[in-house]
Amino acid sequence: MKVAITKATLAAAFSLLTMSFAHPDSLVLTPPMGWNSWNVFHENINENQIKEIADAMVESGLKDAGYVFLNLDDNWMDTKRDAQGNLQNNPKTFPSGMKALADYVHAKGLKFGLYGDRGKRTCHHYNSNWQSESGSNGHEEQDAKKLAEWGVDYWKYDNCDSDPNTQEKDYTAMSKALRNSGRDIVFSICMWEYKEWMPKIANLWRTTFDIGPAWISQSWYRGVYEIIDANNKYWQIAKPGHWNDPDMLEVGNDGLSYEEQRSQMTMWSIMAAPIMISSDIRKMSNETKELYLNKDMIAINQDSLGVQGHRISDVDGKQVWTKPLKNGDIAVALLNNNSSIQTVECNFADIGVEGEVEVRDAWKKKDLGPVSHVSIELPAHGSALLRLILKPVPRAPFKGEALAIPGKIEVEDFDVNGVGQGNTTYNEKDTENHGDSDYRPDTGVDLYKKATGVIVGYNQAGEWLEYTVKVAKTGTYTMNASVASANNTSSFKLSMDGKDITEEISVPQATTGENNYDEYNTVEAKVNLTEGEHILRFTVTGDWMDIDYIKFCENESCEETEEIRMTIPATVRDVSPRLLKKGNAMFIEKNGKRFDLTGHRIK
């Protein structure tokens, strides 16, 4: 049989072959912003209404401000699937179908989102006790392909009418299906609580139960403050591409005072939370519109560093929250969780900012001048959102000059922190110093005293240290690192000027005892380095580990030569001592004891 192949067919096939898809982790590098139907319309949604919302998002300036997702929540679908088992639109409320509606939304420059459920029925169909096939359980691959066919950009996935024992399995199945669908689709888990497996498979996840129009709830839902308080505990989890979701906005709806609405915007901004409007924007007031469109608030929320702000003090309900920003500035939120007027203060020295700095008040849209502290009177449940504008301060090598390569780098000698983009020299996730060394007490980096000197310990995944180094000449070097771990899943990598120079390097697990971080092993890798001054970064990529030093050698290995070994006195030579260097002093270590090069014991 002959098959006629037209130019259009060939063009379509070529388009599919050459189509490129983003990595799932890069779909929402800043918190997604948009609109969701549930809090305002609940199950009562229809095609014309949604088109009008799309029009309003464009005409009001919301789209240009970054609110680009238009997401339909529950009840867009029919209770029955089609003859092939596919999800289908409710023919009465969405007669043109989802593909046509997605096309309309896309033509406006917006992105289109839908809602589903991992169970047998979606929440509204389940709670209404309808006989329904609206859930995706057992249909993950089929439903994901249908979403891609329709042009869906965002998929919120709920948790009703489902098996509580298969949560991870079900959500993982949908995650894989979306990634294999042939379209970039943001995956939003709505399981009403956080689980540690979620960041591996989703772009965002609800950390709490449903929000409602109250500061403190007296009903089945959670109030705005209760959600703020619950979401705070997960601040270290969020990062670009992966966000804690404290649910959508109640701003613009009845139930909250104006101050409470502004405080929700303040706290969603400082917490790097997804900002999903859920009010009738076709008839929003100017007051509400100003809250949505405040440029300073949006800039803090959308900052590309992607750190979730967190609470650093709470004195009788008077709270201070901070969030570091990409350019070195610091965002500060002041919150009054009292039912009366209170004055909330913040001394900038308490958050690591010395002297006077320029301060921008986001809601007042004015600069407060150079100050070293703020004291602001806030109404009940009121807030202030500030940006501390820090002047850049260059980083500096801890020893005053770049560390030499070839040579040995003591890991505790990381660069002195500066201020501003590119001047941060370490990332310490846990600001409490667990170490027992006072070598560098002001950093929060965990330094411990060991027999070999000071080491950096208590290192967890995502933490890093940077060093200014000077490579003597271009070539291949042998890298040795002295590391310890009680786990078999610890690892690290090295990069230079932002580019990896090693793959992940596994850290050997201690062979004796439980929780043993005193058994050091040397790991090795070959690295290609370029002559000149560079920034070297050590990054922890696996479980907890300790590290003593990193050494770069020009030889095939970093072992000492026989000539050096024979200069070691016989009193210590025959027991495999370690030749070590600390600063400009060389010494020998044997069985935890130290000797100088003449063989005398160092006390």
Reported as a single tens digit per residue, the pLDDT across 64-112 is 999 999 999 999 999 999 999 999 999 999 999 999 999 999 999 999 9
The answer to whether residue 6 scores a pLDDT higher than 80 is no
| Per-residue CA distances from 165 to 133, 162, 170, 181, 220 (Å) | 21, 9, 10, 26, 24
| Per-residue CA distances from 409 to 482, 503, 552 (Å) | 11, 19, 8
Give the DSSP per-residue string, 399-425: TSSPEEESEEEEGGGPPBP-BSTT---
Residues 107-126: what's their mean pLDDT? 98
> What confidence tens digit (pLDDT) does each residue in 205-263 have?
999 999 999 999 999 999 999 999 999 999 999 999 999 999 999 999 999 999 999 99
14-28, 186-200, 444-458, 556-570, range with the lowest pLDDT: 556-570
36-40, 89-93, 326-330, 580-584, range with the lowest pLDDT: 580-584
83-92, 369-378, 486-495, 571-580, range with the lowest pLDDT: 571-580
Neighbours of 315 (CB within 10 A): 10
Average pLDDT, the chain: 90
Q: Is 210 a catalytic residue?
A: yes
pLDDT at 514: 85
Q: Is 546 a catalytic residue?
A: no
> What share of the chain in percent tops pLDDT 90?
79
> What confidence tens digit (pLDDT) does each residue in 494-508 have?
999 999 999 999 999
> What confidence tens digit (pLDDT) does each residue in 131-170 have?
999 999 999 999 999 999 999 999 999 999 999 999 999 9
- Highest mean predicted confidence (pLDDT) among 31-45, 389-403, 408-422: 31-45
φ, ψ (nearest 5 deg) of residue 130: -85, 150
pLDDT at 435: 85
The answer to whether residue 369 scores a pLDDT higher than 70 is yes
Instruction: From 225, 460, 205, select the one nearest 339 (Cα to Cα).
Output: 225
| Per-residue CA distances from 471 to 403, 538, 567 (Å) | 9, 16, 28
pLDDT at 432: 67
- Rounded Cα gap, residues 88 and 527, in angstroms: 55
pLDDT at 599: 59
- Rounded Cα gap, residues 154 and 37, in angstroms: 14
Contact 525, 487 (CB under 8 A): no
74, 158, 184, 548: the catalytic one is 158
pLDDT at 354: 85
pLDDT at 452: 87
103, 210, 229, 543: the catalytic one is 210
pLDDT at 566: 41
pLDDT at 10: 42
Q: How confident is the model at residue 3 (pLDDT cuts 50, 70, 90)?
A: very low
The structural domains of the chain, ordered by start, are 25-190 (3.20.20.70), 324-389 (2.60.40.1180), 403-553 (2.60.120.260), 575-602 (no CATH)
Contact 436, 513 (CB under 8 A): no
Contact 493, 479 (CB under 8 A): no
φ, ψ (nearest 5 deg) of residue 496: -135, 125
- Rounded Cα gap, residues 494 and 508, in angstroms: 17
